[in-house]
């Protein structure tokens, strides 16, 4: 085994031993949960607004088409 292979194996072993500790610390950490909740709520509100604007744009487009056709017929 070369020196590089030994170093890589050691780094892999260290990374494996840290994973359970990191997972436990991540599970205990509650910092930022409020920000995540607000972000999710904001995202849902954004989706509702986009959906409403899409429906509104369709009806407004139909209205302007109707007005344009009426003007075209009258001239």
Question: Would 30 be classed as within a structural domain?
Answer: yes
Residue 55 has pLDDT above 70, yes or no: yes
**Number of domains observed in the structure of the chain:** 1
pLDDT score for 19: 64
Distance of CA 24 to the CA centre of its chain: 25
60-70: average pLDDT: 93
Supply 13's token pair. 């072993």
How far apart are the C-alpha atoms of 71 and 69, rounded to whole Å? 5
Question: Would 63 be classed as within a structural domain?
Answer: yes
As a whole-number percent, the residues of the chain with pLDDT over 90 amount to 36
18-37: average pLDDT: 74
Question: Would 49 be classed as within a structural domain?
Answer: yes
Supply 3's token pair. 């020196």
Find tokens 């369709």 and name the residue: 58
Supply 4's token pair. 């590089």
pTM of the predicted structure, to 2 decimals: 0.45
Domain that holds residue 43: 18-72
């Amino acid at each position: 085994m070369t020196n590089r292979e030994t170093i890589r194996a050691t780094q892999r072993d260290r990374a494996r031993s840290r994973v359970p500790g990191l997972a436990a610390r991540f599970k205990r950490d509650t910092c930022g949960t409020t920000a995540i909740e607000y972000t999710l709520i904001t995202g849902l509100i954004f989706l509702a607004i986009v959906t409403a604007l899409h429906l509104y744009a369709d009806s407004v487009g139909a209205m302007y088409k109707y007005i344009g056709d009426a003007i075209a017929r009258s001239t």
